[in-house]
A and B are shown apart, each in its own frame.
Chain A
Amino acid sequence: MATDFYKYLPRSMKAHYEATTAIDAPAVFEPLAKPIEQCTIALMTSAGVYLTDTQESFDLEGERRKPTWGDPTFREIPTDVDQGRIGHAHLHINGEDIIEDVNIALPFRAFKTLEAEGAIGALAPIAYSFMGFQEDNAREWTEVQGPELGAKLKRRGVDVLLLAPA
Chain B
Amino acid sequence: MPVLARNIESQGIPTVTVTMLPDIAQKFRLSRVVGVPVPFGHSFGVPGADEFQLAASRLAVRALQEAGEPGYRLDLDMEYPVPDKVAYKTWHPSEPSPIVAQMLKARAAAEEKG
Contacts and interface: CB of A to CB of B under 8 A. Distances in A.
A46 B2 CA distance: 11
Task: Give the size category of A's interface with B.
Answer: 35 or more
Given A5-B23, A7-B84, A133 B97 contact: yes
Interface in B59-78: 60-61, 64-65, 67-71, 75, 77
Contacts of B98: 63-64, 66-67, 91
Contacts of B64: 32, 36, 39, 160
Contacts of B45: 104
Interface of A: 3-8, 17-18, 20-23, 25-33, 36, 39, 41, 44-47, 63-64, 66-68, 90-95, 97-98, 100-101, 103-105, 107, 109-111, 113-114, 119-120, 130, 132-135, 138, 141-142, 145-147, 149-150, 153-154, 158-166
B41 A47 contact: yes
29 contacts: A3-B75, A4-B37, A5-B37, A7-B88, A8-B40, A8-B88, A20-B24, A23-B28, A25-B6, A27-B71, A28-B29, A29-B9, A36-B61, A47-B41, A67-B101, A94-B92, A97-B41, A100-B47, A103-B47, A107-B57, A113-B57, A114-B61, A133-B97, A149-B4, A162-B15, A162-B60, A163-B18, A164-B17, A165-B17
Most buried by B among A8, A27, A93, A166: A8
B43 A164 contact: yes
A63 to B, nearest CB: 5
Contact of B31 (A27, A94, A114): A27
Interface in B3-17: 3-17
Contact of B29 (A27, A104, A105): A27
Contact of A154 (B13, B44, B53): B13
Determine chain A's interface SS by DSSP, over half rule.
loop
Contacts of B17: 162-165
Contacts of B68: 31
A32 B57 CA distance: 17
Contacts of A119: 58, 61
Given A23-B29, A45-B43, A93-B40, 12 more contacts: A5-B20, A8-B20, A32-B14, A36-B65, A63-B98, A101-B47, A114-B57, A142-B4, A146-B8, A160-B13, A160-B14, A164-B43
